[in-house]
Amino acid sequence: MDTFRGANIADKPAYLMRNEEWIRNLKERKPLEIDQAKALIGFYFQELYGRTPHGGINRNKPYEVFSGNMAPPERQIGASELNFLMLKVEERKVSNNGIRLNNVLYWNDEMAKHVGKKVYLRYDIMDMRSILVYDVGEKLICQATARRLTHPFVKLAVDRELAEKDLRRQLTHQRKLEADVKRKSAILRKQVDDAVSELPFPNITLDQTAFNESPLLSHQETPRPFEQIENLAHKHAGMTESNAEADDELVLKKLDKLFENIGL
């Protein structure tokens, strides 16, 4: 903080005197607002520099020379075209919530079809209420406006009635948009299904399959008890009389063992 360190109070600078707010503000050197800066620059070019005689144009005033010598029609450019050329261009990607630019979200319903895609933005740095959105082919998609955020605690908002009304309006619009997207997706899916169903598929017959259908492991199956009994009976029936008498005792032992295994 500046203080007076002189020997005589009469030498005290004006910005330290009482009630000298104007000179004190000049001393603080606060930055100008954008509108103030634009007004001062315009005033300088038009009133000070523009109306002062200039030696390079035979002591004429630049503003009068500029106003009295209009360009031919073929060289004139409309104000809207000039404004478009002055727009700032940036690249962004459309998210589910819209496009974030300078920490502000912008949205338009047409952007729902371009979620996840790269787009180009054109906007006026002096007026960020809306932006122009173009696809990669420089085709205009829409003019997106800044989204109005909903109060995080609607029930505690000062203007609770207006906040609840605005929330209901946004939810209704969101449900309508979701229904529209589902309807268009169903139409697109039906078109794809119809197009695929009309494709001619060739009749292909294979003499030999390209896949080996044999099991990866070979299993040795054990005959079931009743199958073992049947096999023994067939084996005994095919024996000769001499061998049959010799093997009767062995067959009876095997049968007893088999009956014991199956619980008979």
Under DSSP, the state recorded for 138 is S
Is 130 in the same domain as 175? no
pLDDT, residue 264, reads 58
Evaluate whether residue 50 is within a structural domain.
Answer: yes
Evaluate whether residue 219 is within a structural domain.
Answer: no
Average pLDDT on 104-110 reads: 89
Is 130 in the same domain as 113? yes
- Return d(Cα 81, Cα 141) in angstroms, integer: 19
pTM for this prediction: 0.48
Is 139 in the same domain as 190? no
pLDDT, residue 8, reads 62
Tell me the residue type at 188.
L
Evaluate whether residue 181 is within a structural domain.
Answer: yes
Which of 198, 218, 234 is the endpoint of a domain?
198
Which of 125, 147, 169 is the endpoint of a domain?
147
pLDDT greater than 90 at residue 134? yes
Give me the phi and psi of 41, to 5 degrees please: -65, -45
Winning range, highest mean pLDDT, from 48-52, 182-186, 214-218, 232-236: 48-52
Evaluate whether residue 251 is within a structural domain.
Answer: yes
Helix axes 225-237, 241-262, angle to 10 degrees: 170
Is 234 in the same domain as 256? yes
pLDDT band at 46 (very low <50, low <70, confident <90, very high): confident
Q: What is the pLDDT of residues 51-103, one digit of tens each?
A: 999 988 889 999 888 888 888 888 888 888 888 888 999 999 999 889 999 88
pLDDT, residue 215, reads 62
Evaluate whether residue 5 is within a structural domain.
Answer: no
Is 110 in the same domain as 157? no
Structural domain including 162 reads 150-198
Is 185 in the same domain as 239? no
Considering only residues 109 and 122, tell me which one the structure prediction assigns the higher pLDDT.
122
Measured from the Cβ of residue 123, the count of other Cβ atoms closer than 10 Å reads: 21
Structurally, the chain folds into a number of domains equal to 4
Is 55 in the same domain as 84? no
Q: Using the structure block, give the residue that is written with the tokens 């009295």.
A: 68
Is 42 in the same domain as 99? no
pLDDT band at 130 (very low <50, low <70, confident <90, very high): very high
Is 134 in the same domain as 161? no
Evaluate whether residue 204 is within a structural domain.
Answer: no
Evaluate whether residue 74 is within a structural domain.
Answer: no
Winning range, highest mean pLDDT, from 12-16, 44-48, 231-235: 44-48
Is 92 in the same domain as 131? yes
Evaluate whether residue 2 is within a structural domain.
Answer: no
| Burial track 151-188 (b if 16+ CB lie within 10 A, e otherwise) | beebeebeeeeebeebeeeeeeeeeeeeeeeeeeeeee
Question: What proportions of the chain, in percent to the nearest 5, are helix, strand and coil?
Answer: 50, 15, 35
- Return d(Cα 142, Cα 256) in angstroms, integer: 93
Is 139 in the same domain as 159? no
Q: What is the pLDDT of residues 4-18, one digit of tens each?
A: 455 665 666 655 665
pLDDT band at 259 (very low <50, low <70, confident <90, very high): low
| Burial track 12-41 (b if 16+ CB lie within 10 A, e otherwise) | eeeeeeeeeeeeeeeeeeeeeeeeeeeeee
Q: Residue 109 is part of a domain; what is its CATH number?
A: 2.30.30
